[in-house]
Amino acid sequence: MILVRQYRYAVSSELLEIPAGTLEPGEEPKDCAKRELEEETGYTCHSIAKVLECFVAPGYSTEKIHVYLAKGLTKTQTRLEEDEKITIDTVPFETALAKIRSGEIQDAKTIAGLQGAANLL
């Protein structure tokens, strides 16, 4: 699994997360997932499958996330935005799941995405 470490000001902490980003106007979620994968990690993928989609906090937000599992990765080059400070962590899938259990991964989209991907693997 390719995970990204990034400082999140809202929680005053560095979090370990799956690559993610914001949909551009008119962009399909699958295309966004592939774009963000390459921008943040420097990898393209041969195949990509939808894991899940869900509302982040339906009590006060309409934000919906779409999570994909990318396979057949090829190393290219990152294209980080100017304000992005990201470190890449590459770990076996079972290690990523263990990081959820240990509390090292605390990001909800990452937890949901990894658990959902476990059902596909």
39 is catalytic: no
Residue type, 88: I
Is the Cβ–Cβ distance between 2 and 88 less than 8 Å?
Answer: yes
The DSSP symbol for 107 reads: -
Alpha helices in 42-106 (DSSP H): 93-102
The secondary structure of residue 104, as a DSSP letter, is S
Kindly report the number of other CB atoms within 10 A of residue 20's CB atom: 19
Q: Which residue in 24, 63, 82, 94 is the catalytic one?
A: 82
CB atoms under 10 Å from CB of 38, counted, come to 19
Question: Would you state the structure tokens that stand for residue 7, as one six-digit string?
Answer: 């400082």
Active-site residue list: 82
